[in-house]
Structure 1
């Protein structure tokens, strides 16, 4: 009896199958522990076919990073609907971010845990994605400041720092949410909005927190100076 022939699958479909298996393996076992044998087995193909399509373990991992990074940035951009008030845009963008990372925990692990710790080449791939998200959030905050007609000339460097802080908080919160049973994407987004938007809302309204004056005499623990908010002039 002759060998049973399997239906030929288009290359693009087969390659995505391999990437699915690789993301799952890298995300759950880590880059170092993951083997091409188990990736091929999970994908239902031979190891030589994986090498034929994706060249090496390094190239396969890079392909995984690029695919997952593209999917995440597209999800965030699609979620933040233009035309809404600034807080609603940020809310919808954050909800899209946490929804995506919750639905694709292995992909998020590849991006946020594995890629950053296994060489500069991999870390650089993730840095491109992160810079795009930070730039997107920066422009969102800038637009909100201009729309508020309070501080249309708010320095972009200052806003970039706010965006960096917000994105960093979202990344850490996504790790926590994925490791904590029962936490929903909506809850994660609400947590970050409650943490961040009060300050951003004051900034949009022209009220900044002013650091205490440390040039005076030491007041000690009982008389320490405190920060305050002040209208932007």
Structure 2
């Protein structure tokens, strides 16, 4: 088997174990067993538990960023771009719950180097969402001069809310990706006041 393929198998197993058991509780023996290889081979390919976890964070972060970017078409209206990006985010985190657990729960709580890896991913998503929010907010407010600081705050709020909703959706199987995305669109696009009065944004 080519080395690259075997490494991906090991990382698949590692993401599953790290996501379900946590970084500290996970063992290289478990990862090797799930991957169907020997523990020395895991160490040979991926060096250490710390380096393996870092590789998992980087892989899952890159996959999430790519999914969000690929979900958005620049030819769509501003609200549809936001909707598409959110839907892509929730679909990806639902399809890869262990990967999301690695990024959102494990990496942030097991040391500064791991947290820094996730922070880099989050900044990349924030930068992308800030552009979407700028267009969507300015279109909604009919104000081409909406302050950059306000746009940045909206982007921070949206990303933070999306992260919390992903956790909610992944612990409640009845919540679909589109439902989670629509929940956030109703809050962010229609506005809380409109939502409370029954005026809802719909795709």
CA–CA separation in structure 2 for the residues paired with 1:172 and 1:152: 30
TM-score, normalised to structure 2's length?
A: 0.91
- Structure 2 residue ranges without an equivalent (≥5): 195-203
CA, structure 1 residues 144+189, in 2 after alignment: closer, same or farther (shift >3 Å)?
Answer: closer
CA distance in 2, matches of 1:56, 1:31: 13
C-alpha distance in 1, partners of 2:150/2:159? 15
Per the TM alignment, residue 141 of structure 1 is displaced from its structure 2 partner at its CA by: 1.8
- Residue 183 and residue 149 in structure 1: after superposition, are their counterparts in 2 closer, same or farther (change >3 A)? closer
Larger Rg computed on CA atoms: 1
Q: Structure 1 residue 199: deviation in Å? A: 3.1
Contact 1:21 1:43 in 2 (8 A): yes
Write the distance in 1 (CA, Å) between the matches of 2:173 and 2:141: 42
TM-score normalised by structure 1 residue count: 0.79
Partner of 2:58: 66
CA-CA distance at 1:137 after TM superposition: 0.9
Q: Residue 83 of structure 1: which of 53, 61, 75 is its match?
A: 75
Alignment equivalent of 1:109, drawn from 101, 104, 107: 101
Contact 1:142/1:159 (<8 A) preserved: yes
Looking at secondary structure, tell me which structure has more helix per residue.
Answer: 2
Q: What is the CA-CA distance between 1:149 and the residue it aligns to?
A: 8.5
Count of residue pairs brought into register by the alignment = 193
In the alignment, is the contact (CA less than 8 A) between 2:93 and 2:100 conserved in 1? yes
Cα deviation for residue 196 of structure 1 reads 1.2
**Alignment gaps of 5+ in structure 1:** 1-8, 203-233
